[in-house]
Amino acid sequence: MGFITISGENQIANKQGNSETLNITHFVLANIDGLDVNNEPVNRVEAMPAAGNIRDTLPVTKQGYVNTNQVVYSLVMDSAIGDYDFNWVGLIDDEGVLVAVTYTPLIQKRKTAGSVPGNNLTRNFLIAFSGIQATTAIAVPAETWQIDFNARLHGIDERERLSNFDIYGHEGFLSDGWKLERVGTSSTYNVLPGVGYVGGIRIAETLTQQVTATGPKSVWLDVSLQGDISDVTAVVDFVIDAVSHADYTDGNGFKHYLTKISDIAANGDVTDVRVDGDGLSQHLLDEDPHPQYLTEAEANALYKAKTAIDYPIGALLIMDGDVVPTGFLKRNGAELVRASYPLLWAYAQTVSNFVTQATKDSDPEAYAGYYGDGDGSTTFTIPDWRGEFWRAWDDGRGVDVGRGIGTWQADEFKSHYHLGGIAEQGPQTWFGAEDAGGGTREYVTNNEGSAITTSNKTNNVGGNETRSRNLSGTALVRAY
């Protein structure tokens, strides 16, 4: 551990006594032969190393306080610094006073040379002295920059792995990535390039790899995430044997995740057992990938129900145009498929104006207001209201007695009569009346007492039916 030198202690006391600021500015790195790194001087008497032993003098990178009695100085050395070794570290102030020193086992500092990466080092020095924060005038807390980046970067890697695991599970392969294919009839097998995820670790290969195996065996991937001097990479090993494998942690603390990608039979045939990780294609093939949402059919049904709101199945709707709104059909006697209109079919079977199709066809006019059972198995027919007036069912009121739902009535005059006319002409008396066949007149003579009947008819007037004033519309039934 480090220590404050006697000269450093005197400097701090002097600065505090004179209300001056102690300004520590540089780290000094040295390599001293024969230095006993395990035994720092008890009397804390330490001098600057000889010039020939000093390897580097670098400015303080960061400084911060831990509390009022502790401050920290940090030195960050990137891969542009080097090459040298050091085992002695000192802190000096702006007056050149050696304030603190620490001994350390020999440390190598190397800079990047071409394709060979250098290393990055961080050295931290904690100075504990009563009132040292005020003496150094350090106002920045150390926690704002004293970060264990190794732990943080490892945490980032692990969070990424877990995120992949959440998406792909323990394993998942995209398309033909890492698929095993036999080369002819040989014992050599190609491993196709592509992307996969094992234990949440992404493994990508751009080239075809080859393995050699004789069956019956299985081919496994052993995947781990291991670091070098500047990065972490996915390491993939092939395991070919006839036993099962589980994930494990090796002696260096690296976690290994294993998955089987193929089985090789005794005759050399390959069975691909990779887990499909192409979630999108599977998602698109799934008839209901999001059960928490409405399917298209359900949404359409809901939409249709909303557009036909307040009209129950079987309800009558009169439109003043020929456009049929969603949810309705024309009441035109059509034959419908039961499976296509299950709600209306269910309704038809519950009403009193439902008959067999044979009955309905026996008198289409009389049964125009009835539902029929169609072909008896897959279809049914609906009422035909075209060209008819609508009349509310009497339902026991006594105005239109003897009627059932959907029954048909022909046109009819209410029962009535006409008064006849009598006229006299000379000795004869004339009497005029009209029967159902047209005009008929009779006359009787007073002197003979006999009657003569003649059949004289008035001209026809009116149309082909008896009706009231009306406007036409389209009769509809709520069908779905």
Q: Which of 31-45, 224-238, 321-335 has the lowest mean pLDDT?
A: 224-238
pLDDT digits (tens, 9 = 90+) for 441-459: 444 444 454 555 555 556 7
Domains held by the chain: number: 3
Look at 8 and 393; give whichever has higher pLDDT: 8
276 within 8 A of 172, measured Cβ to Cβ: yes
Distance CA 238, CA 220 (A): 6
pLDDT digits (tens, 9 = 90+) for 82-98: 999 999 999 999 999 99
Asked whether residue 92 is domain-assigned, the answer is: yes
Q: Judge if 236 and 258 occupy the same domain.
A: yes
141 within 8 A of 64, measured Cβ to Cβ: yes
Distance CA 126, CA 298 (A): 68
User: Which pLDDT score, from 0 to 100, does residue 280 have?
Assistant: 63
Structural domain of residue 110, as residue ranges? 3-147
Asked whether residue 250 is domain-assigned, the answer is: yes
Q: Judge if 50 and 112 occupy the same domain.
A: yes
Whether residue 10 is predicted with pLDDT greater than 90 in this model: the reply is yes
Q: Judge if 108 and 178 occupy the same domain.
A: no
Omega cis (within 30) before 216? yes
Kindly indicate the confidence band of residue 372, based on its pLDDT and cuts at 50, 70 and 90.
very high
Look at 304 and 319; give whichever has higher pLDDT: 319
Q: Judge if 16 and 124 occupy the same domain.
A: yes
pLDDT digits (tens, 9 = 90+) for 13-65: 999 999 999 999 999 999 999 998 888 887 899 999 999 999 999 999 999 98
Enter the tokens of residue 247. Answer: 């994930």
Kindly indicate the confidence band of residue 436, based on its pLDDT and cuts at 50, 70 and 90.
very low
Residue of 83, 80, 72, 65 whose CA lies nearest to 27: 72
Asked whether residue 330 is domain-assigned, the answer is: no
Q: Judge if 7 and 141 occupy the same domain.
A: yes
Kindly indicate the confidence band of residue 277, based on its pLDDT and cuts at 50, 70 and 90.
confident
Whether residue 365 is predicted with pLDDT greater than 60 in this model: the reply is yes
Average pLDDT for 289-311: 72
User: Which pLDDT score, from 0 to 100, does residue 445 have?
Assistant: 46
- Which residues have C-beta within 8 Å of that of residue 317, sequence separation ≥ 6? 311, 325, 328, 475, 476, 477, 478
pLDDT digits (tens, 9 = 90+) for 397-428: 888 888 888 888 888 888 877 655 555 555 55
Distance CA 79, CA 25 (A): 22
User: Which pLDDT score, from 0 to 100, does residue 174 have?
Assistant: 92
Distance CA 349, CA 342 (A): 11
CA angle 344, 348, 351 (to 5 degrees): 140
Where does a domain end: 237, 256, 282? Answer: 282
Residue of 72, 204, 179, 203 whose CA lies nearest to 132: 72
User: Which pLDDT score, from 0 to 100, does residue 285 have?
Assistant: 72
106 within 8 A of 29, measured Cβ to Cβ: no
Q: Which SS3 state, helix, strand or coil, does residue 272 take?
A: strand
Q: Judge if 214 and 103 occupy the same domain.
A: no
Whether residue 307 is predicted with pLDDT greater than 70 in this model: the reply is no
Enter the tokens of residue 434. Answer: 């009209």
Q: How many Cα atoms occupy the beta-carbon half-sphere of 456 within 13 Å? A: 9
Edge-to-edge order in the sheet of strand 335-337: 335-337, 379-381, 371-372, 354-355
